[in-house]
Chains A and B, each alone.
Chain A
Amino acid sequence: MLRRTRIAALCAILLTPLAISGPAGNRTQSAAQPAPSYTYRGTVHAVNASTGTLDLITGVGMSLRLVHMSAGPAVHTSAPTAGLRMADVKPGYIVTVEWHRTSAGLVVDRIEKLEAPAR
């Protein structure tokens, strides 16, 4: 009996990691975990402060994107010169954008305006 219990316990220890893990594609985000944050660097294509949307042209290597993001008034903004507000963000600005993914799409957490590189 004791031997059976020990085997069952050993099996449970060995199989538990397999049961709770799986291929990356099948894993779902735990409700308790915050959504991972990502950073895009790019050029503001369009911005609408009243509807809270931001379109960003971004490129990583040859992989270029026009990404549509939600950017509410609570978005944290910063710039080399202080005092940037979401309403001040203009097309053509070079920015880094921290964002996370929700079921409704990409949501901006923070925008930082960058100085355009010297020519």
Chain B
Amino acid sequence: MTRPRVAAALFLLLAVGCKKPVKPGDPIPGLTAEQLARFNRGKEVFDSVFTPHTGLGPLFNSTACEVEVHATAFKGGMCDPLVQEGGPVIQLHTTPALKAALGIDREPFPPSANARASRTTPVVFARGLLDLVPDSAILAYADSEDRNHDGVHGRPNRSLDGRIGRFGRKAFVPTLAEFNAGAFVAEMGITNPAQPTEENIGGKPIPPGVDSTADPEIRQEELDLTDDFVRFLADPTPTKLTRDGRRGRDLFSKIGCTSCHFPTLRSGASPIAALNRREFFAYTDLLLHDMGPDLEDICLGLAGPADFRTEPLLGLRDIQHFLHDGRAATLDQAIELHGGEGAGARDRFKALPTADRAAVVAFLKSL
């Protein structure tokens, strides 16, 4: 970790130590009364349970958290996100009307797909701040040629139209607004003004009469409120570290984890004072890294099957399953499953004495 980064992290630790702790799910401190009211109204929309009469489906994933399925095709070094076959998100449920019309109880797996992936529900803390990290900062962190010879060569992903991505496990989505609007449709089949058309089913339109709710199924106001709720969700204050936790934090840096999990990022300019030019703990560089063949699944944009965006380490204290698909039951396992560019740090972690490994985990559980 470079000196300026260490200084920024230490300064932030001092600043955080002097303020009232922010709990997971709290709004970001410093919002105006009007912004706080929008956060609360947005939470109501976010927590809504949709039904077919209010726009759910006809294809959807569960309204509760569950592992979902993605599929793409990777051929000759090119990634096909299968837009002609319904896109990469495979919905696992159908409404009764669609089941009656087509006899299916989930979206058919696209015939052209040659890879599939499972995904857990992402943590949504600090997304408003991550949205504001300037593209120039992300590009400055990139080292696709590994010029510093540390075995780590982060590179940005790009959306279909060439913008720098930052959201999603493969950093395919450029903005938070698009991530939120897309989630309404991809996860719940709720069309909205940003994505007012329903998905096709294996390339064929939805049968007439199956989806009687007029598109878009929610209004811009509901979309904006939901967006504000997610945008204003705070980065939780790390819990107070024990002596072991402090040692674990130092070891986390010493063994090279911070080559990708950068401790702090800085948001760019924003008209929302609480988000404007703020240094925050993120533990990500928002770049893609090759994580080795054991974690390979789908491609997406410029991300090959083994490429994943460095996961921001936020809210770890409440997570039960780790990595993009939840395959790791503990933080130790999650670290040990790192391969590719993460192999060096993983091996150094594995070589630590048991007490030091526990200290690293204690630190991570403070996040």
Binding site for B on A (CB under 8 A): 23-25, 27-28, 36, 38, 41-43, 57-67, 94, 101, 106, 114, 116-117, 119
Contacts and interface: CB of A to CB of B under 8 A. Distances in A.
Contacts of B292: none
A65 B199 contact: yes
A62 B182 contact: yes
24 contacts: A24-B213, A24-B219, A25-B53, A25-B212, A25-B217, A28-B214, A38-B196, A41-B161, A59-B83, A59-B182, A61-B178, A61-B181, A61-B182, A61-B195, A62-B87, A63-B183, A63-B185, A63-B199, A64-B87, A94-B162, A101-B196, A101-B215, A117-B158, A117-B162
B114 interface: no
Interface centre among B83, B178, B181, B217 (most CB of A within 10 A): B83
A24 B213 CA distance: 8
Given A24-B219, A42-B161, A116-B162, A61 B179 contact: yes
B163 A117 contact: yes
Given A25-B53, A25-B54, A25-B213, A63 B195 contact: yes
Contacts of A43: 160-161
Contacts of B83: 57, 59, 64-66
B197 interface: yes
B154 interface: no
B186 interface: yes
A35 to B, nearest CB: 11
Contact of A59 (B84, B159, B197): B159
B81 to A, nearest CB: 6
Contacts of B159: 59
B325 to A, nearest CB: 15
Interface centre among A65, A67, A94 (most CB of B within 10 A): A65
Size range of the chain B interface in the assembly: 35 or more
B172 A62 contact: yes
B55 A67 contact: no
Given A25-B213, A42-B160, A117-B162, A64 B88 contact: yes
Given A60-B178, A61-B182, 6 more contacts: A61-B173, A61-B186, A61-B195, A62-B186, A65-B197, A66-B84
Given A24-B219, A116-B162, A106 B180 contact: no
A38 B220 CA distance: 11
A111 to B, nearest CB: 14
B251 to A, nearest CB: 36
Interface string B181-195: 111011000000111
Interface string B153-176: 000001111111001100011000
A17 to B, nearest CB: 18
Nearest to B85: A66
B230 interface: no
Given A24-B219, A66-B83, A66-B84, A60 B185 contact: yes
Contacts of B179: 61-62
A63 B81 CA distance: 10
Given A61-B180, A62-B168, A63-B186, A25 B87 contact: no
Contacts of B168: 61-62
Contacts of B178: 59-61
Contact of A65 (B87, B172, B180, B215): B87
B323 interface: no
Contacts of B164: 117
A36 B193 CA distance: 9
B89 interface: yes
Interface string B82-98: 11100111000000000
A94 B193 CA distance: 20
Interface string B124-153: 000000000000000000000000000000
A67 B193 CA distance: 15
A94 B83 CA distance: 16
Per CB-CB distance, the 9 closest pairs between chain A and chain B, nearest first, are A61-B182, A25-B213, A64-B87, A63-B182, A60-B195, A63-B185, A117-B162, A63-B186, A60-B182
B88 to A, nearest CB: 6
B25 to A, nearest CB: 22
B55 A25 contact: yes
